[in-house]
Every structure is written in C-alpha cells, then in structure tokens.
Structure 1
Amino acid sequence: MFEQDENLFNVLFEAASEGIIVVNESQQIVASNNAAAHMFGYSKDELRDKPLNILLPPQYRTAHPKHFNGFLDNSEKRQMGHGRDLYGIKKQ
C-alpha cells in the first residue's frame, strides 16, 4: 500500500503546473518537481542536495532564514511565501 501511495504522490507532484521545491530544516533541497527545475533552468535532479540559497537573489539571502524559521515555528497548512511576491535566480 505504501508503494502505491508513493507512486500516486509522485504522479501528482510531477503533474503540478506550479514549481514545487521541498527543503529540509537545513534549507537543503530534498526534492523539486519538473516545473520548478524548468522554471529555474535546471535538469530534474540537479537541484537535489543543493542549498536553497542558490535560487535566492543575493539581496534576500540575509533575511530569508528568519522568514524560514518563522514559517517552521508557526507551521500550519499553508504555503510558504503565500501572499508575498517571491523572487528567484535562474541557473547561470
């Protein structure tokens, strides 16, 4: 049953038209879908194990850990960055 659930999750994860990036508590990228990889100019697995900072413009890198920790401290079902304009950097 777990394998079926995992397969269904993967299908939905990849079918999403929105870019999805999943990070761990250290802000290391643990997963991204094809839409996110395409949005930032990376191949499918190229983002895995990279620091999230590679996608953040330099002017936002200092403040981001505070926002990230605030999100974790007040975790509930919501999107990180919801209601904000988010900026990112494409692969050089």
Structure 2
Amino acid sequence: MGRDLFDETARALLERTQDAHVVGQIHQYLAGGSSRFDLMRDPGFSEAMQQWYDEVADEHRQRGIDLAEVGAQVWKQWEDESINRS
C-alpha cells in the first residue's frame, strides 16, 4: 500500500476507533516514531483495521464495488514491499 494511501487509512481509522492502544500507535506512526510496517504488525491495529475494512467493504458492496479484489491487489503489493525491505 502506498504511503499516502496508508496515511489516509490510518487517519480514517483514528477517527473511528476508541481503543487507546491503537490511537497511541497511530499517533506514534503519524509523528514518524514508527514505520507503517511496524504499525501493520501491531495486533490491535490489525484488528481495528480489519473491522474498519469490513464496514467500508459493506458500504461499497451496496454500491456494486467489490473491495475484496482491490484488497487482494493491495495486500500483494504490501507483501512485495515487505519482502524487498527484508
């Protein structure tokens, strides 16, 4: 996932979550204190992001847009970037 898109997603999730741990992790990331890869590995963030994604996917599904296919492409790109960084 490109950094701009990830930043936008993190900010959107920040507005939706009440979990203090996740809020702290997102603030740390946005302040430059951790990488997006560190944030993605955080179980609390991953769970909150999955819940957010499910809500967004339902909204788009009602409009005839299949985000599962889009998500699979983004996930593959993220994996490729992770492998290249290793």
Same fold (TM over 0.5): no
TM-score by length of 2: 0.30
TM-score by length of 1: 0.29
- Considering fraction of residues, name the structure with more helix: 2
**Higher Rg of the two aligned structures:** 1
